[in-house]
A and B are shown apart, each in its own frame.
Chain A
Amino acid sequence: MSFVANDYKPEQPPPRKESGALGWARANLFNSWFNTALTLLALYFLIETVPPLIRWLFIDAVWGLVGPDVCREADGACWSFIRLKYRQILFGTYPFDQQWRPLIAMILIVSVALLSCIRRFWQPWMVGVWIATLFIYITLLGGGVFGLRPVRTELWGGLPLTLMLAFVGIAVAFPISVLLALGRRSDMPIIKAICVGYIELIRGVPLITLLFMASFMLPLFMPSGVSIDAVLRAQVAIIVFVSSYLAEVIRGGLQALPKGQYEAAHTLGLSYWQMQRKIILPQALTISIPPIVNTYLGLFKDTSLVAIISLTDLLLATRQSFADPEWRRFFVEAYIFVALIYWVFCYYMSKYSQYLERVLNTGHKR
């Protein structure tokens, strides 16, 4: 007896196509009835919103340098407004003929910040470079030396002010927050209590109350006759605010270190500060860099609150740019423009911090 097939079996249909545009769409957009419904809904939403948006933003928009009358006739966005007012938005009330100074200062600080993103430059001398940069930055803005015309701080404004509040804020807050974090983990009860009290008190209140405190109460704290100008007051509030958040971030880094590192340092007979300087902080700070970048990102957005206490930062400068009744209706264009500036800074910072998290996530995992 033998079983020999006399004819071919009928051919099976090929497996469902999973490559190519159609296959991709089937796998990613229409793989179940629920997803199909969602896709159709999303497509309907996109068709309803995207073409009108593109028409408004680009096609019907006014790009030329024209007055508000022409813009009012048009159906689209009035980019002419941005072209006319961009210097007021970017530099606020800074004297018009001196605006090259903040421009150079911003280019300098952004390039140093970009350089600091490269890990090869994470060296001790970078601290010196940063101190020098901030010094040059403030000198360029303030003037008064090297033949630069002095410019009072009340006139500082726009993006340079925003950048200064953020960069000086984090630079000054950093050493304070390291001390606070070490204090919070200290064995000495009084020091610990003082640090915990400070950190929790500041983290429990909104930044705006600290800004109010700085602008109304700081003058009362000073000996009579001493006055602090408004920018410095806001800067103090920002430093106080961000140092408590940074302290918690650094404490997280300290806690992430395995106990063996402390024990090994003790075994070598290092003193407390030697141990912190040579063993603990270099590792703890490296782990904390991604959340520090995130804190910086939050601070960069939060500097916009100084607009409430009437400092002409990027946001208030923008609001002043359409204060003119003729231009008032074009506030949407102005907000889109500054939102884009904030977004570019914040988005790339958050991407950088995510990248760092991946790269630095090597050591202490078991």
Chain B
Amino acid sequence: MAEQAARRGGAGPGPRESTAFLRDPRIRAIIYQVLVLGGVILLAVYLVSNTMTNLEQRSIRTGFGFLQSEAGFYIGETTLVNYAASDSYGRAFLVGISNTLRVALIGIVLATILGTIAGVARLSSNWLIAKLASIYVEVMRNVPLLLQLFFWYGLISAALPASRDAVAILPGTYLSRSGLQYPAPIAHWIHPWMLLSILVALGACYAYYRWAKQKQAQTGVEPRLFLPFVGFLLGFPVIVWLIGGAPMAVDMPELGAFRLVGGAAMSPEFLALLLGLTFYTAGFIAEIVRAGILAVPWGQTEAASSLGLKRSFVLRLVLLPQALRIIIPPTTSQFLNLTKNSSLAVAIGYPDLVSVGNTTLNQTGQAIECISIMMACYLFFSLSISFFMNWYNKNIALVER
């Protein structure tokens, strides 16, 4: 017995020493890993050397120096970052990133709202509503997003009236072939401060929440949360607005001689992309919400009711915390999908990261650099969301016996 064990350990005596050496799992593991690593490195060296030769033959310069040179192309949407054609490629990329984030953030908010409504509606006891919701979900999930984007873009640019005959969908809000035009407050120095006050309000909410939890732990009485939260979030900006002299000026879109003038606008490309991403992702979120609610066993509802909890307490204290634990992880991966899918903007001409990168690539021929920048940006988004997810999962993981 002992001898056998020793031989397996690689220290066995006699003529079978070399075989035994190779049969040691630890030695084998090292050999395998060295072989695989060597293979990967060889492949990399081969590809890099090929690339270098090819680049030399086509006399393409490598490096990121081109980011400083003048871009020379026009970008239609520069809402968040100022940009002119005489700016550098680097700045153009910045505009692309900001446009990607803009459509992704608004899309995430809208898709979450619509998806939650559709998911709950699919479980409704109302037959008609449940059926309508399932038709919506089945259509959206089973038609490619790119087709949906083309469809929306086609509808907006062909079926809607020209700018001078724009349809008013709400007072002061017009929909036309050149997008959506809506009233916007005229810029005032107090606006940035109002944004800042919302951040302060969020901090105040958190502090109040901590205090409320402490108080509940000490006295058993749970202080109200909802009203103070709404008070903070609405009150702080309103106070700042009043301090700033309550500027009321609003820029209304009006019919000019040939087209609508004034107000703020969403371009048709942005609108099509936003509609497509929202409707498509909402279909997936609806299924996640439905599955999450169904996954909480019925016994939980019964047990909570038998404790004498009110219906609203059953929902808020027992069902939702359990359902959210199931719903949130796949929903964040849908958010990530939405962000990645916003790259389809390149097909309908919304200047997002990929679209700008593609133009730059075609103008400069710096394929490797441009594609690396795009990939690095998306990787950064993905990795930050997954870090957040891991942190979150660790926080809410069930503490088991």
Contact = CB atoms under 8 A, between A and B. Distances in A.
B341 A221 contact: no
A223 B32 CA distance: 28
Interface stretch (B12-20, B46-54, B316-324): B46-54
Contact of B125 (A28, A221, A342, A347): A28
Interface stretch (A1-9, A64-72, A108-116, A211-219): A211-219
A220 B50 contact: yes
Interface string A194-224: 1000001101111011001100110111111
Contacts of B126: 28-29, 35, 38-39, 42
B60 to A, nearest CB: 9
B371 A213 contact: yes
A191 B147 contact: no
Nearest to B337: A206
Majority SS at the chain A contact face = helix
B128 interface: yes
Contacts of B204: none
A308 B357 CA distance: 14
Contact of A205 (B129, B155, B340, B358): B340
Contacts of B142: 297, 301, 342-343, 346-347, 350
Given A209-B378, A342-B147, A35 B125 contact: yes
B85 interface: no
B383 A209 contact: no
A222 B50 contact: yes
Given A188-B33, A194-B36, A203-B382, A329 B158 contact: yes
Contacts of B379: 201, 204-205
Contact of A342 (B128, B129, B143, B383): B143
Nearest to A212: B371
A331 interface: yes
B123 interface: no
Interface in A272-313: 297, 301-302, 304-305, 307-308
A268 to B, nearest CB: 17
Interface in B229-256: none
B138 A302 contact: no
A267 interface: no
Contact of A206 (B50, B57, B143, B354): B354
Interface stretch (A80-88, A139-147, A249-257, A332-340): A332-340
A315 B146 contact: yes
A220 B146 contact: no
Contacts of B51: 217, 220-221
A362 interface: no
A112 B129 CA distance: 39
A185 interface: no
A289 to B, nearest CB: 19
B341 A190 contact: no
Contacts of A200: 382-383
Interface centre among A38, A39, A206, A213 (most CB of B within 10 A): A206
Contacts of B368: 217, 220
Given A221-B50, A223-B50, A335 B147 contact: yes
B340 A212 contact: no
Interface string A24-61: 00001101000100110011000000000000000000
A137 B29 CA distance: 41
Contact of B37 (A194, A208, A220): A194
Interface residues of B, number: 53
Interface centre among B126, B154, B340 (most CB of A within 10 A): B126
A352 to B, nearest CB: 13
Interface in B303-322: none
Contact of B367 (A43, A191, A201, A220): A220
Contacts of B151: 332, 335, 339
B129 A39 contact: yes
A319 interface: yes
Interface string B334-348: 000000110110110
B146 A305 contact: yes
Interface centre among A220, A301, A331, A343 (most CB of B within 10 A): A220
B29 A188 contact: yes
Interface string B143-168: 11111001100110010000000000
A224 B54 contact: yes
B361 interface: yes
Contacts of A223: 50, 53
B154 A335 contact: yes
Interface string A205-249: 110110011001101111110000000000000000000000000
Nearest to B30: A188
A346 B54 CA distance: 42
A49 B383 CA distance: 44
Given A221-B50, A304-B147, A343-B142, A212 B358 contact: yes
A204 B340 CA distance: 8
30 contacts: A28-B125, A35-B124, A187-B29, A188-B29, A190-B37, A200-B383, A208-B344, A208-B354, A213-B371, A216-B371, A221-B47, A223-B50, A224-B53, A297-B142, A302-B144, A304-B144, A308-B146, A315-B144, A315-B150, A331-B154, A332-B154, A335-B147, A335-B154, A339-B143, A339-B147, A342-B142, A342-B143, A342-B144, A346-B142, A346-B143
Given A190-B37, A205-B382, A339-B151, 15 more contacts: A35-B129, A205-B374, A209-B371, A209-B378, A212-B358, A220-B51, A220-B367, A297-B142, A301-B144, A302-B144, A305-B344, A331-B154, A342-B147, A346-B143, A350-B142
The 4 closest A-B pairs by CB, nearest first: A204-B382, A346-B142, A216-B367, A206-B340
